[in-house]
């Protein structure tokens, strides 16, 4: 009998493996350091573990939890946002090289990356999220107008994330080309790319399907705050 798939609980698995260097907590509950993101996970839905998770939520913070089932909330917290997410995974990527120049993004680009993420809201993005890996971008007259990179890491799998385009530059294929580039690099390392997209965002689901990503399972994304 096989055990649970590492992507069944992507946050808990990542915080204890590929993102452990950026995580805080213990065997009951873990969270990503606030400089890198807003992810929180408990080991199990027991009172002890949920209390440990609650202790990691600072006043005024909005932390994200991602589970396949509607777990009880950590005590003293409330749901600020909840939505269904499709987890998608690719064994191969369709398409070729981008039709425009792409650039590797580094710490020197961190402020611009954060500004673009705050404008476009591709998902949780903090001031050092860029250090989680593999970000590439597109510049127009020196200004960063699109980007994509890597975020969650679990054994054998890496998440494509932070995909966004400035509103003035949408419709030019930047998001699909950058996502394809990031996913292709993940595959070249012998790992498998995956991603998460809100279930009701059908145009984006269709975009990723056209690149070769297939639905794996549904997860529940909750943003929690102190009650």
For residue 79, which of 91, 67, 97 has the smallest C-alpha distance? 67
Residue 16 is assigned to a structural domain of this protein = yes
The pLDDT score that the predictor gives to residue 133 is 84
Give, for 81, the enclosing helix (H) or strand (E).
strand 77-90
Residue 133 pairs in a beta bridge with none
The pLDDT score that the predictor gives to residue 2 is 64
Q: Residue 194 and residue 196: Cα distance in Å, rounded?
A: 7
The pLDDT score that the predictor gives to residue 98 is 76
Output the domain CATH number for residue 105: 3.40.630.30
Alpha-helical runs (H) found in the chain? 10-16, 47-54, 110-120, 174-188, 202-211
Same domain, 50 and 109: no
Residue ranges in the chain whose pLDDT is less than 70: 1-2
User: Could you tell me the pTM of the whole model?
Assistant: 0.94
The pLDDT score that the predictor gives to residue 1 is 43
Same domain, 76 and 111: no
The pLDDT score that the predictor gives to residue 4 is 84
The pLDDT score that the predictor gives to residue 103 is 95
Same domain, 62 and 118: no
Residue ending a domain, choose from 57, 84, 111: 84
Residue 49 is assigned to a structural domain of this protein = yes
What is the b/e burial string over 191-204, where b = at least 16 CB atoms within 10 angstroms of the residue's CB?
A: bbbbbbbeeeeeee
Q: How far is CA 159 from CA 49, 116, 126, 224, in A?
A: 26, 19, 16, 22
Residues near 32 by beta carbon (within 8 Å), at least 6 away in sequence: 15, 19, 22, 23, 24, 38, 39, 40
| Structural domain of 109 | 88-218
For residue 161, which of 206, 118, 124 has the smallest C-alpha distance? 124
Kindly report, residue by residue over 125-138, the tens digit of the pLDDT: 999 999 998 899 99
């Amino acid at each position: 009998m096989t055990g649970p798939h590492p992507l069944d609980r992507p946050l808990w698995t990542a915080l204890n493996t590929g993102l452990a260097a950026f995580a805080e907590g213990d065997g009951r509950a873990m969270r990503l350091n606030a400089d890198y993101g807003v992810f929180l996970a408990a080991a199990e839905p027991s009172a002890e573990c949920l209390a440990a998770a609650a202790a990691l939520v600072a006043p005024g913070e909005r932390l994200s939890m991602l589970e396949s089932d509607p777990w009880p909330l950590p005590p003293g917290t409330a749901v600020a946002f909840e939505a269904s997410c499709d987890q998608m995974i690719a064994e191969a990527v369709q398409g070729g090289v981008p039709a425009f120049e792409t650039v590797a993004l580094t710490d020197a680009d961190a402020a611009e990356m954060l500004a673009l993420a705050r404008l476009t809201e591709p998902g949780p993005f903090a001031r050092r999220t860029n250090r989680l890996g593999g970000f590439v971008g597109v510049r127009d007259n020196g200004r960063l107008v699109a980007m994509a990179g890597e975020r969650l890491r679990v054994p054998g799998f890496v998440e494509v994330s932070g995909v966004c385009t400035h509103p003035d530059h949408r419709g030019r294929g930047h998001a699909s080309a950058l996502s394809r580039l990031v996913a292709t690099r993940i595959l070249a390392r012998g790992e498998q790319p995956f991603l998460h997209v809100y279930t009701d965002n059908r145009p984006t689901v269709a975009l990723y399907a056209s690149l070769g990503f297939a639905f794996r399972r549904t997860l529940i994304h909750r943003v929690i705050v102190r009650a």
